[in-house]
Every structure is written in C-alpha cells, then in structure tokens.
Structure 1
Amino acid sequence: MFFEMTTQVRVSNIEEGHKWYETLLNKKADFLPHDGFVEWELIPGCWLQVAEGNLTEGNGPLRLGVTNIEAERERLIKELTIDSFEIHLRPEVPVKWGTFTDPWGNRLGFFEYLDKTEEQERVKTILGKDEV
C-alpha cells in the first residue's frame, strides 16, 4: 500500500537553495532534520526535499511511503530483478529509506516511518479515514 511520497532536488549551496525554494513555495520549511537538507510538505503526504550535494542529471529520487520497506525491497528484487536497494537510517531522521533505479536510470525509492503510531496517524490523515 502506498500512502505518501517525497521527491528530492539537489542544490550546490543549501543556504541559497533553501532561500530560493522558500520563495518559490511562499512558505517556511516544514522540516530541517540535519545540515544540508530542507523539506516542505506541499500537500498532505507529498514532500519536496532540497539537499545540498552533487547535482544530478534528471530528477529524483521519487520515494513512496510504505509500511514495510524490507518486504517491498524483497518484492522488487523478486518481481523486477532490482539488484541494488540498500536501506539507510540516520538517528535524526524519523524514517528509514532506500533508493533504486528503473531500467532507464530514473531514481526511485521507498521510505518507512520508524514510529508506527506516527505512520498510522499519517495514513489515516492522508486517506481521510478514522481507522486503517
């Protein structure tokens, strides 16, 4: 089940990128988890991440929220022959995530909330349901 998504753009200078996207979006950032990284929730469940780093050609990664990233990784390895899908964690980030590429080089991925109560609340809010 997919219930959220993020997309990321890279900038060479996070201060300039933060200011530019804050102006573009006409709102302050919603989340600043660590140096070099800023996030905005554009609409419920849809996040734009601005990260300082090497510029990449094209877009991405586009990451979709899932409730079990390990199971989804195994499914993709089996069904789509994905061969590179490492799962990452950082102490200051409330999710674990992984990125992979499609056959055309597009960067995609999944993320999973570490706090399952928060995850369930997000799903209920986004889907507009009292229960999941």
Structure 2
Amino acid sequence: MKGVPIVAIRTVYAVIPVADFEAARAWYERLWGRPADREPMSGLAEWEVIEGGAIQLLLEPDRAGAAMLTLGVDDVAGEVRLAAERGLDLGTVQDTPDGGFRIAAVNDPAGNVITFAQEIGRPA
C-alpha cells in the first residue's frame, strides 16, 4: 500500500559525510542558525530539522562529498536570505524546467549538495 510503512518508523536521519568535521560543523551551524542539537559521539553532530527528522554530520573521510540532500521548504527565497544573513551563499533561486519547483542549491565544504526546494505547482 502506498504511504503505509512496513514497520513503525518514528525517526529518520539523513547522514552527511565530511572529511573536515570542525570546518563542516561551523558551516552547518551557520546554515541552520544554531549549534548542533546533539553530539552523541566524537565526529557526529545532529540537528533536528523537523519532528522525528534530523540531519547528521559524520566524520567519514572516505565518503565525504557524495551526499545529496533535498529539503522541502515553504519559501526558498526566504531561506536564501536567511543564509545570506549568516554569511552563506545558497546560489541563485531558479525554477525547475517543468515549473513545478523553485530551488536553490549549495555545496558544503566537503562538496555535498544541499538543495532547498519549494513546490510551486506546474503551470496550467
């Protein structure tokens, strides 16, 4: 059945591998506008971005730069402005070719791609 989980999932973590943990943590603190919510062990920091959903920053040099994360937001332009106030450039806001989404994407210091996406609906 579509939309019905096989098991009762209560939490989802997106893991972003990095080679330079301290530089990446400082960058993500600026992106999220706050320090990590938890650091459960050395080389791991996490930010709860929605109830039951967190983004984890993990010291994993062999996998650094390979993650792609898309975050659905209400206002991409607003996220770009907030990031700019914190000293980060999220790039140009643009509409996808089919016109269904407005996006802005940025690479973190490790090269992982973080995309903010706002659903705007397809033109009639």
Question: Shared fold (TM-score greater than 0.5)?
Answer: no
The structure with the greater share of residues assigned to strand is: 2
Which structure's residues are more often helix, by fraction?
Answer: 1
